[in-house]
Structure 1
Amino acid sequence: MREALETDLRAVLNGALNMLATVERMLPVAADVLLREQVERVDEVKALDREVDAQEAQIEAECLRIIALHQPVARDLRMVALILKSLSDIERMGDYVVHVAKDGAELAQAPALKRYVNLSRMMERLGEMSQNLRTAIAERDVAKAEATTEMDDEVDDLYEQIQRELVTYMLEDPRNISKALMLMRVGRSLERVGDHMENVSERVRYWVTGQREA
């Protein structure tokens, strides 16, 4: 029975990691839409998001089957709980990346208000956070999970810089308001992706140690 449980636990953990990796694949595609005006790639982002939704449904069903079939002990149950709680976070990440791609396609219909340097950096940082988070989960590495949480601070700082810059653009010329508001929405979507990654990373300590705080 223990061997069967271990096999099932590895399968759902790998499934969650693959789901997060799918969102990670979405980020550079959305960046192409937003930063390089490759509007035709919006459908690619949407297709990847549908994969994320399908992965969520499958993994959730498997987690519930594990609980019903194996009645796992505390540490194993913490792992299943980590995955179940994190599925919605990862699914929401995908949704926000789709929002970025859609807004990027709309923004591409007119000349850019400014160079999207901070938005580009936010997307790069989110990709790094995702890689770091997947490693933390795969290796049960609490320190790396906490480093992921700290990385989100830079994403938040970049978002705040974007907000301040765009307010300035709007004050300088009211004709910039519509585009600036859309760029603010893009920044907010990216900031929310980081928040959801942080939510997942904060659960790793409890999973590994049974303690909620250091």
Structure 2
Amino acid sequence: MSDTLSAQQPHAISDERLKETTGRTHKQWFKALDRAGAEDWDHGRIERWLGGKGDVDSWWAQSVTLEYESARGKDTPQSEHGTVEMSVSKSVKLTALEIWPFVDDDGLRRSWLDVEFKVRGRTPGKTLRLSASDGSRVVIALYDLPEGSDGLPRTRVSVTHSRLRAESDVPETKAYWKVALAELAKLAQSPADGTSEQPG
């Protein structure tokens, strides 16, 4: 019954990303948790087990716990919002108008962001507001910058991730967003016709 439930639930984090980071897929983690008796545990105990026995960092332990609880039909602590906030940004050599589709379009956003977020709202061309499965909130904002010395347009892409539950979540969350923004810049700046840019 548990395997059926987990197979039917869409995962907020891809199996590839989860295995790359933690060494196991969702199915493998769920089976390990079932064997440990986690279906009868509360949220905090599951997280502690993943962090201890599973050697999983806090951000990923929290994410796997929420996925597991959802798959097993357990109540999740959505109301336990944290108060910690972090921000990270990256300058991209494009206009905000050119970057916006990669932020706003669900399909394009998935090409650089491998965790599913629920869209809460948007200011077209400027900000996208998201919520995560753990109750945390994300705002992706675009700010015009002066042209660079090479004459190319520049935009600062800023991510603010709020309602994190602990200061210990900040380093890994910040590292995650830095990688994501680097991937966004790479995709957005790739020539549309697939040709390579000539070296300067």
In the superposition, the TM-score normalised over structure 1's length comes to 0.25
Q: Higher relative contact order by CA 8 Å / sep ≥ 6: 1 or 2?
A: 1
In the superposition, the TM-score normalised over structure 2's length comes to 0.27
| Higher-helix-fraction structure | 1
